[in-house]
Amino acid sequence: MTVRRYIILFENSFRSRDWCRFGCDVFAAQGFQIIAVQTTDAPPEDFCETVFRCFDRAALEQHIGVVWDEDIVLNLVALSPRSAWIYDWLRERHVRYMIMSRGGLPLSFVGFRSALGPSDLLHLRAGELRQWIGAKCRRLVRWREVLRAPPPRWWLRAGRRPDPMTNPPYPRMSSAAVLPMLHFDVEAAQSAPEYRGARRPYAVFLDQMMIDHPELELEVMKMSPEVDPERYHPVLEHCFRTVEDQAGLDVIVAPHPRATPRSNARFGRRVVNIPTASLVRGSSLVLCHYTTAVSFPVIFRKPVLFLTSDKMETNASGVMVARFSSWLGERRVNIDHLPGKLPMPVVTETNYRRYEQAFLYSEAPMDWSGVIARVAY
């Protein structure tokens, strides 16, 4: 009898948390062999199965070979010029594959209440327009590549509606059958105990590793820091002290999942290395830029103070912060120019419920066993 395989194509490093996030525990329990394939030269992580590093067609053929009808393929590699060879392989092998978006975040504005004034409103609209035109131009230049790429058969998706995408990560996503699931953060929140190690009420900052993120070191990503490396941590620390003085809260840091001792040491204050969901659950206020982890304050109904900077306002990250803040009906704060009195955010139930429905919850969500039953022959 042929051993059924669960094949995962992934651009980034596989990590231990991906074992459950990608349903490997359920597939393994049902007798599937797990084949994890990493398609970029990212740093190795701590996945509990062997990870095959395939950077070309020959390596993919060597480690996967023929894809049988009984195999299930989860493709998490976005369509781009550097990944076109993967889509050529999917097409020529007639592979039926799934895609997954269970870490959704706002890619559009809900009004412009987050604008800081008329000039900022024009700035945000201009930024949106530039991104839209750039994405459409890139899509147009790649029209042949997009048409050649085979569309996904199934779309594992959290949220009751997809956010508009000017540059969809996968080809012809609208043709895929939607299999509703819960957002990753909803599952994490369900089992997260409240953090009780603080002596006083506290605010928590959700770190994004804006300087030391490993992807900034990858030449293939061609990423540059979104913040000023020299100014970022000093002005952020000033913001933390201002919050502590004005709100009467201690500020602690929730480290990024890929945080290192070096990145944590940059803060010069308490970094609590426990699940972010637990830190948010026990907090009185959440500070962040833009991160999918904003799901946790939405789920636990915590006020969120969105932070931007002069440098962020010159690149796409400033627009992202404004998008996030618009969904919760808040205005962002520039840490390079803090106002004399910080505008403390509040929880508006309609806004938080709207965010949940758009990105976190689905009607009649499936678990991984339901997905296998739906897609397996």
Highest mean predicted confidence (pLDDT) among 52-56, 143-147, 247-251: 247-251
Give, in order, the Cα–Cα distances in Å from 146 to each of 84, 99, 175, 199. 9, 16, 14, 55
The confidence score (pLDDT) of residue 114 equals: 57
pLDDT on residue 345: 95
The least confident of 85-89, 157-161, 202-206, 365-369 is: 157-161
pLDDT band at 221 (very low <50, low <70, confident <90, very high): very low
> 134 pLDDT band (50/70/90 cuts)?
low
- Within the chain, which residue ranges are assigned CATH 3.40.50.2000? 192-359
Mean pLDDT value of segment 114-132? 65
Is the predicted pLDDT of residue 311 greater than 50, yes or no? Answer: yes
Please check whether residue 112 is in contact with residue 123, taking contact to mean a CB–CB distance below 8 angstroms.
Answer: no
- The pLDDT of residue 118: 64
pLDDT surpassing 50 at residue 270: yes
Categorize the per-residue pLDDT at 154 as very low, low, confident or very high, splitting at 50, 70 and 90. Answer: very high
Q: For residues 335 and 206, what is the distance between their CA atoms, to the nearest angstrom? A: 15
Q: What is the pLDDT of residue 261?
A: 83
Give pLDDT tens digits for 170-214. Answer: 877 888 999 999 999 999 999 899 998 888 999 999 999 888 755
In this structure, the dihedral spanned by the alpha carbons of residues 307, 309, 312 and 318, taken in order and rounded to 10 degrees, is: 40
* pLDDT tens sequence across 48-97: 888 999 999 999 999 999 999 999 999 999 888 888 899 999 999 999 99
Which residues, 6 or more positions from 95, have their beta carbon under 8 angstroms from its beta carbon?
67, 73, 89, 150
Cα 322 to chain centroid distance, Å, stands at 16
Mean pLDDT of 18-27: 95
pLDDT, the chain, mean: 86
CATH number of 5-107+145-182+362-375: 3.40.50
pTM for this prediction: 0.86
Q: Is the pLDDT of residue 263 over 60?
A: yes
pLDDT of residue 227: 86
Q: Which CATH number is associated with domain 192-359? A: 3.40.50.2000
Please state, in angstroms and rounded to a whole number, the distance separating the CA atoms of residues 308 and 302: 19
Asked which of 196-210, 220-234, 264-278 is least confident by mean pLDDT, the reply is 220-234
Where helices occur in the chain by DSSP H, the ranges are: 18-21, 24-29, 57-63, 84-92, 118-141, 143-148, 184-190, 232-247, 261-265, 276-281, 295-300, 316-327, 349-355, 368-375
Higher pLDDT, 110 or 47: 47
Angle at which helices 118-141 and 316-327 cross, to 10°: 110
pLDDT in tens, 345-362: 999 999 999 999 999 999
- The pLDDT of residue 224 is above 80: no
Residue 59 buriedness (CB in 10 A; 0-12 / 13-18 / 19+): middle
